Amino acid sequence: MPDVSGVQILQGTQEFGKDLIFSIRGGFGESILCACVIKKTRITGTVSSSKGARTVFLQAEQAFDTPHLNDSGGDVRVERVYIISPFDLSPGTVRSIAGKLTSRSGQIQFISGSRLFDLFKLYWPGVLADEFNTINEYLSKTEVELCEEKALANLLFQYQLGPADKRIKTVYVPPTLRRDLRSYSVGPDLTGVIPSDSELQTRITPEQYERLQGRIRKFQSAMDALQDWEYVDRDENISLNRQLNAFVAGLSSDWMAARDQYIGVTFEKLLRTRKRDKKGPADRNPSEELETKKRIEKETRKAAEDLFQMEGVPLSSCQEVVNNAVALRGEIETTLAPLCATLETSVRFVDSLSANHDGWLFDPEFVECCRLSEFVQQTPAGVCAGRSQGRVVCSSEILDEWGGPVLILAGVYKISASFSASLCCRVSCWQWLV
């Protein structure tokens, strides 16, 4: 690269955030010391992860804070840091450190993914050719290994099928590659979170109150999962969480005040009735009188609480709670709009697979459906509800049709007695390598 000098690799205990350093020339020929923070793994937006963007940013901060000791024994400050990764940065990752990047505007640069690859092609194209030769040599050795007769000979011996007079190449049956897809709708954890107006205007029992709180907790957990997968906007989700917490706090305060009032009034009524119906002898001693009074009050309070458990109480500020509930339902609908659009895409695409669906591999809706399937597998069952199911089947010329790299993940569900699982995996790999 032009105007770059003094390249040194510093990885070790004394690197202080600098994996590599080099110098570039400034506008007037001055030397500017730069450092590189190199990560071979994907940089994520997770705060607690060692691979998180905040952790990497702290390493870059360390490079600025700790000067480099040059050959003359003098301290030289780092003026620019490049964070390098072979993986592209997701918008969520950049958003997690947006504020910190502003404080170091122009001093920290990310070189990642396709941009890093373009720099290799421009300044060091030979490394790509070397990489190709290495991969080609590895695949050739792998082909030889896969074509060995050990697996086939062991199989023939185990099932007493006679001598191994055939090669795996000649007896191999190519597999059918397919992808099963399912369309989804909004699940129960995301619907009916806020009670209807009629529910809020009736008496609320303790069981109903606990069920409401449980629904809201499930909803908030589901929304956090949707935020992690960028199906809902982060700022909108944070705002919605604040409104939900305020709604629950107001509802709880109102309901508990009504509960205490109901139990108090009911206790007084029941107590007066019991005192009127159960008058003891006039000559009872004071200690017995006190014990009897305490026992009656305890039994009466228990009866009042039992009535509350069955009947519940109406909210004292019912209209205010109803108004807040209406506003919350609108906020939930707005926040979930991106997810609903994705779910509609899955329904449209999967339903179209009932007929012969040509060109599915090049359809962005197919990629979106695959991503949605991965999300559903990693989240609680109540977030999305399954609907229709479809299947796409790869043609035998998939590599030629696609014209680019293809990652195939195979799951072996059932293998006949004539093939072992290990043999199936090995010959499948051979098919795609050669």
| pLDDT given at position 406 | 65
Tens-place pLDDT, residues 17-39: 888 999 999 888 899 999 999 88
Tens-place pLDDT, residues 221-234: 999 999 999 999 99
**Residue, of 149 and 275, whose pLDDT is higher:** 275
Q: What is the Cα gyration radius of the chain?
A: 35
Three-state SS annotation for 192-254: CCCCCHHHHCCCECHHHHHHHHHHHHHHHHHHHHHHHCCCCCHHHHHHHHHHHHHHHHHHHHH
| pLDDT given at position 166 | 58
Task: From 348, 116, 94, 318, select the one nearest 199 (Cα to Cα).
Answer: 318
| pLDDT given at position 420 | 40
**Residue, of 107 and 162, whose pLDDT is higher:** 107
| pLDDT given at position 337 | 93
Q: Do residues 53 and 6 touch, judged by C-beta distance below 8 A?
A: no
Determine the average pLDDT of the residues in 115-138.
Answer: 79
b/e map 194-229, b = 16+ CB within 10 Å: bbeeeebeeebeeeebeebeebbebbbebbebbbbb
Q: Do residues 409 and 177 touch, judged by C-beta distance below 8 A?
A: no
| pLDDT given at position 410 | 53
Task: From 180, 92, 177, select the one nearest 366 (Cα to Cα).
Answer: 180
Tens-place pLDDT, residues 38-53: 888 888 877 666 678 8
Q: Delimit the domains of the chain by residue range.
A: 4-123, 192-330
Of all residues in the chain, the percent with pLDDT exceeding 70 is: 76
Q: How confident is the model at residue 1 (pLDDT cuts 50, 70, 90)?
A: confident
Average per-residue pLDDT in the chain? 79
Residue 128 has pLDDT above 60, yes or no: yes
Q: How confident is the model at residue 342 (pLDDT cuts 50, 70, 90)?
A: very high
